């Protein structure tokens, strides 16, 4: 028995458990030296046997890398590739959102005093125009296959919705089997628009449904889902749920390839957005008509609400709690849906309540949304000079948002939605600073204004703005040694004027924190007078009191403390 044990030990290649390939290579060489009584020089890279060992080492590294990568990409919390995260979420029942093309509104106006070659011009659905600001192409969305514009008479204006992207299509042949599916391989993968997908079977347009169980028996319909591997997947029914395309049928899948958030045009005034015609129109007898000769384009709403594919980090969070029936049942479902848009700095979803917090109507769902101004308006906008109206959605944006919600899931019949405009509450911030003497005072003030502006633009708190947060932001500015902050509330100051003996604080608490009501949104703005008779300018002002007032009380020498 002892001889058998000694024999087994002599045949061991590895004497320890190693996870590094180079350690395994070293032990292999030691084993060969001992076994064949050879010097180490025989196994160097200069010898044939050493070359073989190096090749085996490199192959082993690739094998271990492949094993490690395979295991890692099977865990949604550790996967690094977007396609892996999306595919794991899809298998779990979540449908990751693809990109959404930016949408806007234009008016096509006829030029006056132009002799027309025909009475009308015909524009087909998805007629293309180009935005000179972004350099991208946008398609006109029609509710029918074509529209006719008058070239004569009194009618001279037509309003259209546009969506950014290029129309592409792929053709397949049906095999006539149940649950037949087709994959749209596309270079941009998840930049196929989340909603604009049309399927034609032998030239007939079929209807899109969100779930297999929603498809009527024998109906001409399909399901479009974000691809398990990439791109877009199209699924047909089995006869009981949806119709099976007959064998040999030609299936054309038409989709919008969009640029996502790149299609958003950030301007302060819609008149700054310029469009030009890409496609030509047609007369009733089929003659081409150059649109720019007879029409101009006026921008009503700048393109916005363009969204990139779903953030993989967000997918990791929401995939486990996604509704498998794609239904918008509770408040969490709506909040997750709105987070996907990536266009809001503040999202609150709640039921109708009275002042004591009691629910008035469980069927009315309120959406409190504050746009992320960095996403919707031009870059470099100063927070303190930004119009307050920019923190509210326009009627067009609300309408597009409601369309997005309707398309994204099954809303409960018994519920209704209401988009609330935030009640803007105004505050003043007074700062007293002790600064270091090696930084210019003007630079310190400018950096403080910039830091506080960024904080309030990205404000995520729904209940309060702690004064300690603002102190932390200011202390992080280079040149600031010490800071004292005092916050004034317009509501509280007006209450002090009308009721001097009142003890109740409005908009603030005893810690001088900003208190945010359920439908309120705080902004740092002047334009009002406090209880002491001090008048504050709307934005920042060097000559008078403004929304942010910075006083440098003293300057101290910055001391470098070293080790002696």
Distance CA 499, CA 501 (A): 6
In the predicted structure, residue 381 carries a pLDDT above the cut 60: no
CB atoms inside a 10 Å sphere around CB 300? 14
Distance CA 432, CA 485 (A): 7
Helix (H, G, I), strand (E, B), or coil: what is residue 129? strand
In the predicted structure, residue 563 carries a pLDDT above the cut 50: no
Span 217-249, pLDDT tens digits: 999 999 998 887 777 889 999 999 999 999 999
Q: Band the pLDDT of 394: cuts 50, 70, 90.
A: confident
Distant-in-sequence, close-in-space partners of 497: CB < 8 Å, separation ≥ 6: 531
More confident position, 440 or 229: 440
- Return the percent helix, strand and coil in the chain, to nearest 5: 30, 30, 40
Segment 486-499 shows an average pLDDT of: 92
Burial class (CB in 10 A: 0-12, 13-18, 19+), 254: middle
Span 356-377, pLDDT tens digits: 667 777 778 889 988 887 765 5
Report pLDDT for 411: 66
* Cβ atoms 243, 204 nearer than 8 A: no
More confident position, 420 or 155: 420
Give the count of alpha carbons within 13 A of 117, CB side only: 15
Span 122-135, pLDDT tens digits: 998 889 999 998 89
6-10, 58-62, 110-114, 238-242: segment of lowest average pLDDT = 6-10
Indicate yes or no: pTM above 0.85: no
Segment 327-353 shows an average pLDDT of: 80
Report pLDDT for 15: 52
Report pLDDT for 378: 56
Span 114-173, pLDDT tens digits: 888 888 899 988 899 999 988 999 999 888 888 988 888 776 678 899 999 988 889 999
Report pLDDT for 376: 56
Q: Band the pLDDT of 539: cuts 50, 70, 90.
A: confident
Report pLDDT for 90: 81
Q: Band the pLDDT of 535: cuts 50, 70, 90.
A: very high
Of the chain, the percentage scoring pLDDT greater than 70 comes to 90
Q: Band the pLDDT of 175: cuts 50, 70, 90.
A: very high
Q: Band the pLDDT of 4: cuts 50, 70, 90.
A: very low
Report pLDDT for 188: 62
Report pLDDT for 562: 45
In the predicted structure, residue 532 carries a pLDDT above the cut 80: yes
In the predicted structure, residue 104 carries a pLDDT above the cut 80: yes
Q: Band the pLDDT of 105: cuts 50, 70, 90.
A: very high
* Cβ atoms 368, 422 nearer than 8 A: yes
CA distances from 478 to 61, 320, 443, 549 (A): 48, 43, 9, 18
Closest CA to 436 of 444, 426, 447, 427: 444
In the predicted structure, residue 279 carries a pLDDT above the cut 60: yes
Span 544-561, pLDDT tens digits: 899 999 999 999 988 754
Phi, psi of 431 (to 5 degrees): -115, 135
Q: The tokens of 102 are what?
A: 């930016």
Distance CA 349, CA 332 (A): 8
In the predicted structure, residue 207 carries a pLDDT above the cut 50: yes
Q: What is the mean pLDDT of the chain?
A: 84
Positive or negative CA dihedral for 465, 471, 472, 476? positive
Report pLDDT for 324: 54
For the residues of 440-481, what is the DSSP string, one character each?
-HHHHHHHHHHHHHHHHHT---SSEE-HHHHHHHHHTSTTEE
Give the distance, in angstroms, between the CA of residue 61 and the centroid of all CA atoms in the same chain.
38
Report pLDDT for 321: 66
Distant-in-sequence, close-in-space partners of 419: CB < 8 Å, separation ≥ 6: 367, 369, 393, 398, 401, 402
């Amino acid at each position: 028995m002892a001889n058998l044990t000694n024999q087994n030990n002599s045949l061991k290649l590895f004497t320890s458990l190693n996870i590094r390939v180079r350690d395994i290579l070293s032990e292999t060489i030691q084993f060969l030296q001992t076994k064949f009584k050879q010097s180490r020089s025989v196994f160097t890279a200069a010898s044939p046997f050493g070359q073989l060992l190096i090749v085996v080492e490199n192959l082993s590294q690739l094998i271990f890398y492949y094993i490690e990568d395979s295991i890692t990409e099977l865990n949604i919390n550790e996967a690094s590739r977007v396609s892996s995260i999306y595919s794991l979420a899809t298998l779990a029942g979540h449908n990751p959102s693809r990109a959404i093309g930016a949408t806007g509104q234009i008016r096509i106006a006829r030029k006056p005093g132009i002799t027309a070659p025909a009475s009308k011009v015909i524009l087909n659905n998805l007629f293309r125009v180009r935005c000179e600001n972004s350099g991208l192409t946008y398609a006109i969305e029609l509710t029918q296959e074509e529209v006719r514009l008058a070239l004569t008479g009194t009618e001279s204006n037509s309003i259209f919705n546009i969506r950014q992207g290029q129309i592409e299509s792929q053709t397949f042949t049906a095999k006539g089997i149940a649950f037949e599916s087709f994959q749209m391989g596309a270079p941009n993968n998840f930049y196929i628009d989340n909603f604009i997908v049309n399927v034609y079977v032998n030239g007939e347009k079929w209807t899109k449904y969100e779930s297999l169980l929603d498809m009527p028996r024998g109906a001409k319909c399909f399901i479009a889902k974000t691809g398990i591997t990439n791109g877009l997947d199209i699924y047909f029914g089995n006869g009981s749920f949806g119709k099976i395309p007959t064998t040999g049928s030609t299936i054309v899948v038409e989709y919008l390839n969009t640029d996502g958030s790149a299609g958003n045009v950030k301007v302060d005034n819609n008149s700054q957005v310029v469009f030009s015609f890409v496609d030509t129109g047609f007369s009733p007898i089929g003659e081409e008509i150059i649109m720019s000769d007879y029409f101009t384009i006026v921008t009503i709403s700048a393109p916005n609400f363009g969204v990139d594919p779903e953030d993989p980090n967000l997918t990791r969070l929401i995939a486990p709690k996604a509704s498998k029936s794609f239904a918008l049942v509770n408040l969490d479902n709506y909040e997750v849906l709105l987070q996907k848009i990536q266009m809001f700095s503040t999202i609150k979803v709640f039921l109708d309540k009275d002042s004591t917090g009691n629910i008035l109507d469980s069927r009315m769902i309120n959406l409190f949304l504050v746009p992320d101004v960095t996403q919707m308006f031009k870059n470099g906008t100063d927070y303190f000079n930004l119009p307050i109206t920019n923190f509210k959605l326009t009627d067009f944006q609300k309408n597009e948002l409601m369309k997005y919600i309707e398309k994204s899931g099954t809303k409960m019949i018994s519920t209704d939605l209401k988009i609330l405009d935030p009640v803007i509450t105004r505050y003043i911030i007074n700062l007293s600073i002790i600064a270091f003497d090696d930084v210019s005072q003007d630079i310190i003030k400018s950096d403080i204004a910039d830091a506080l502006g960024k904080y309030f633009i990205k404000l995520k708190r729904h209940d309060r703005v702690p004064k300690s947060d603002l102190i932390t932001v200011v202390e992080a500015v280079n040149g600031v040694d010490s800071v004292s902050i005092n916050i004034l509330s317009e509501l509280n100051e007006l209450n002090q004027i009308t009721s001097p003996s009142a003890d109740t604080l409005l908009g603030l608490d005893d810690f001088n924190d900003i208190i945010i009501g359920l439908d309120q949104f705080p902004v740092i703005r002047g334009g009002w007078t406090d209880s002491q008779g001090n008048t504050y300018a709307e934005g920042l002002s060097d000559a008078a009191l403004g929304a942010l007032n910075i006083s440098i009380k003293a300057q101290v020498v910055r001391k470098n403390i070293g080790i002696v």
